[in-house]
Amino acid sequence: MARQTDRQQQAKLLRVFRKVHRMTGAFLFVFFFLVSLTGLLLGWKKHNNWLLPKSYKGSSTNLKEWLPMDSLHSNACRYLQDSVSPDLSLKLERIDIRKDKGMVKFVFEDGFWGLQLDGATGKLLTIERRRSDFIEKIHDGSILDLYFNTPNGEIKLVYTTIMGLALLVFTITGFWLWYGPKRMRQHTG
């Protein structure tokens, strides 16, 4: 009788795990789809020039020959407004200094635009659309913080917490859905 009760409890637990697994999957399907698709794209970003633009080389890798950073920044702002739009915000997301390439990247918040400048001359090497940055913001949920203008990344925090917990639930319930029937067969045989 104890074996029968134990087996019934295991079967009941298995049904609960199956239901949690199914409901979580159904509820978060779109999010899992987006995370997996954007994750694949981000994994491949350094292997194509569509997602991550080519890095160009400047004329000197010697930092002593470079223009001051404020001059390079002024040039980048001027090039952005002259070449893309005078209405774009000049607020920077980041500056990437590539000493080994003699180049500086200025990445602007507005519209995912980036400019590469020669560090020594300040001349424009290229203007790029930062598609990988856009995809990264979709991947981690921060695109909603950008859209709703939330100052401290609250939406990203909630989104990554939900997705992390969902992955944990999927791992646990998925394991039990695999292991539970094996365990039940061991106890009956």
Q: 100-109 burial, b if ≥16 CB within 10 A, otherwise e?
A: ebbbbbbbbe
- DSSP state, 57? P
What's the rounded mean pLDDT across residues 146-156? 92
SS3 44: coil
Query: What is the structure's pLDDT at 4?
Result: 66
pTM for the predicted model, two decimal places: 0.80
Which class in CATH covers the domain with range 54-129? alpha beta
CA nearest to 141, candidates 2, 24, 25, 28: 28
Q: Which of 75, 81, 88 shows the shortest CA–CA distance to 124? A: 75
pLDDT band of residue 138 (cuts 50, 70, 90) is very high
Min mean pLDDT across 5-19, 55-69, 73-87, 108-122 is at: 5-19
174 versus 119: which is more confidently predicted? 119
Write the pLDDT tens digit of every residue in 16-53: 888 888 888 888 889 999 999 999 999 999 888 788 88
Please tell me the least confidently modeled range out of 10-24, 28-42, 66-80, 159-173: 10-24
CA distance 76 to 106: 7
Q: How large is the average pLDDT for residues 127-153?
A: 93
